[in-house]
Amino acid sequence: MHTPPRVRFAPSPTGPLHIGGARTALFNWAFAKGRAGAFLLRSEDTDRERSTEESERGILDGLRSLGLQWDEGPDLGGPHAPYRQSERLETHLGTAGQLRRAGWAYPCFCTSERLTALREAAQAAKQTPRYDGHCRDLSDEDAAAKITAGERFTLRFKLPEGETVFTDAIRGEVTFAHEELDDWIMVRADGSPTYNFVCVCDDLAMGITHVIRGEEHLVNTPKQILLFQVLGREVPTFAHLPLMLGKGGKKMSKRDNDTALAAYIAQGFPPEAILNYLALQGWALDGETEIFTPEVLVENFRLENVGKSGSIFDLEKFSWMAGEYLRAEPLSQTAERALPFVLAAGFTTEAELRADWPQFEAAVATTRERVRLYSEIPAQLAWLYEADDAVTFDEKAEANARKHGAEALALLGEFAEWVAPRLTAGEDAESLITATKAFVKEHGVKFPFLFQPLRCALTGKPGGPEIADLMALLGPERTAARLTHGARRLA
Ligand code: GLU
């Protein structure tokens, strides 16, 4: 029997959760859930200057908003706590000492001037800068003397010769010649350990079986594998997810698309749509079905089926999917999620809306066919919250209404009287519209003759929801008031 996998999402809390980071978290989550495994969250906050608590909170909130719940993490604790890298310093330094004693790490006393000169010389010769191993063979006595004399030093990994070959679960066999690497720094002169080093310490301590992360980390993998090996421990399976690219296959940039997950939440993308769309970034269910639940993802997700080449993050398609989710969810959910946007538009108060929630839901229902995001709902409802004597007439709606002349306005007045008792009686939309059509026919005119002035008086818009729905939403008094004021303003 296989032991259940343990995977981790390991963000650095130095900024908002990137949309690509959310995809990494999703694939880790789906992989673990489908195999009764554990999904861990580890906050890689070793960059003390750039890491903030606020950013960590934002990342946790972002994952929660997508429903990606972790099993162990900085807030939850777990068998391998702490899950915040900065709180694990003692273990890291312990491992550094162990590697040094075993001869896999050595102190380097090179000054920053010397290192800069080395780098510049390499650049001038069009070569990749590499540390030249100057302090590699310093004797223990010499090193000890320098340390006693108070010389600052970093701790470097003693890179063996040869190459590192591994099988990436997505990309297949990958080979790195060690000539491409160098004796990299594990612990800085200020005593703080570096990412590649602590990442391995913690993956080891936390029993991580699969490292699933973005392709940008592929270059770190040989360094990390070597560490696992020299520590005499089993190397986890690595899987590098393809890059998410923006328009035209270029690197995603803030100019084309928002890169932060929070921006999409703030724009009113349904979280379920975000999850679904992210699942398609590098993975496909069957090449056809685009809309599926997280359960289906969990059941079908295989690392081998993740693509190697970059995926295109297409905002247009993402927005289309948002609309599909928005229309398919229960109306009560759309109303709840639209609420903050409607409140932000300043039309009315929450208390007012809650006082007649069915009416608000009915209002939202009239918008669902025309929007893709919750944030688009307020603009579709603005007409409803305007004062009845001051509805904003859109230019086109007004021109449409006026072209039928005074007779049409007279008919509007007649219609107002005719419709009032029907609205008061609460006649349903379907029979109201049938009766209204009959009313138009009886008067021997074409539909637009009544409907265009009517629509303008009720909403000030040239198009929109069914007339009967508009009147039902406004109710008898407000409909009557709008018809009276409309007829007066159009006269
Ligand atoms: N802290 C690294 C990052 O945010 C994690 C990389 C990894 O998953 O190993 O990119």
Per annotation, catalytic residue among 250, 251, 254, 403: 254
How confident is the model over 7-21, as pLDDT tens digits? Answer: 999 999 999 999 999
- Whole-number Å distance, alpha carbon 308 to ligand 1 midpoint, is 19
Q: Measured in angstroms, how far is the CA atom of residue 250 from the centroid of ligand 1?
A: 22
Q: Is the CB of 44 under 6 A from ligand 1?
A: yes
| 10 Cβ inside 6 Å of ligand 1 | yes
Residue 10 Cα to ligand 1 midpoint, Å, equals 5
Using a 6 Å cutoff on CB, does residue 56 contact ligand 1? no
Q: Which of 9, 12, 39, 200 maximizes ligand 1 atoms within 8 Å of its Cβ, making it the mutation to test the pocket?
A: 12
**Overall average pLDDT of the 150-170 stretch:** 98
pLDDT (tens digit per residue) in 130-143: 999 999 999 999 99
17-53 b/e (C-beta count within 10 Å ≥ 16 → b): bbbbbbbbbbbbbbbbbbbebbbbbbbbbbeeeebee
Mean pLDDT across the stretch 284-295?
Answer: 96
Give 108-126 pLDDT, tens digit per residue.
999 999 999 999 999 999 9
pLDDT at 1: 53
| Alpha carbon distance 205, 220 (integer Å) | 19
- Return d(Cα 27, Cα 303) in angstroms, integer: 9
Q: Which ligand 1 atom is at minimum distance from the Cα of 220?
A: 9
pLDDT confidence bin for 368, thresholds 50/70/90: very high
DSSP three-state, residue 252: coil
Is the CB of 212 inside a 6 Å radius of any atom of ligand 1?
A: no
Whether 55 is in the pocket of ligand 1, judged by its Cβ within 6 Å, is no
Which residue puts its alpha carbon closest to atom 5 of ligand 1?
Answer: 10
In this prediction, residue 249 carries a pLDDT of: 84
Task: Check pLDDT > 70 for residue 357.
Answer: yes
* DSSP H or E stretch at residue 318: helix 315-328
Does the C-beta of 199 come closer than 6 Å to ligand 1? yes
Distance 256 CA to ligand 1 centre (A): 24
- Output b/e per residue, 182-206; b: 16+ Cβ within 10 A: bbbbbbeeeeebbbbbbbbbbbbeb
For residue 42, what pLDDT is reported? 98
Question: pLDDT over 70 for what percent of the chain?
Answer: 100
Please say whether the beta carbons of 244 and 215 come within 8 A. Answer: no
Ligand 1 midpoint to CA 342 (Å): 38
What is the structure's pLDDT at 248? 81
pLDDT > 90? residue 252: no
Mean of per-residue pLDDT scores for the chain? 96
Ligand 1 midpoint to CA 8 (Å): 10
pLDDT greater at residue 428 or residue 13: 13
C-alpha to C-alpha distance for 442 and 461, rounded to whole angstroms: 26
Q: Which atom of ligand 1 is nearest to the CA of 216?
A: 10
Which of 196, 198, 217 most suits a substitution to test ligand 1, by most atoms within 8 Å of the C-beta? 217
Tell which atom from ligand 1 comes closest to the C-alpha of 217: 6
Beta bridge partners, 214, equal 241
Give the mean pLDDT of 245-257: 80
Question: Is position 254 annotated as part of the catalytic site?
Answer: yes
Strand partners, 244: 311
Residue 165 has pLDDT above 70, yes or no: yes
458-474 tens-digit pLDDT: 999 999 999 999 999 99
DSSP code for 481:
H
Confidence of residue 250 (pLDDT cuts 50, 70, 90): confident
User: Does residue 50 carry a pLDDT above 80?
Assistant: yes
pTM of this structure: 0.93
The ligand 1 atom at the shortest distance from the C-alpha of residue 203 is 9
Query: Measured from the CB, is residue 20 less than 6 Å from ligand 1?
Result: no
pLDDT band at 417 (very low <50, low <70, confident <90, very high): very high
Residue 238 carries which DSSP code? E
400-410 per-position pLDDT tens digit:
999 999 999 99
Site to probe by mutation for ligand 1, drawn from 56, 199, 210 as the one with most ligand atoms within 8 Å of Cβ, is 199
pLDDT in tens, 307-320: 999 999 999 999 99
Which band of pLDDT confidence, cut at 50, 70 and 90, is reported for residue 299?
A: very high
CB 205 within 8 A of CB 1: no
Say if CB 458 and CB 467 are below 8 A apart. yes
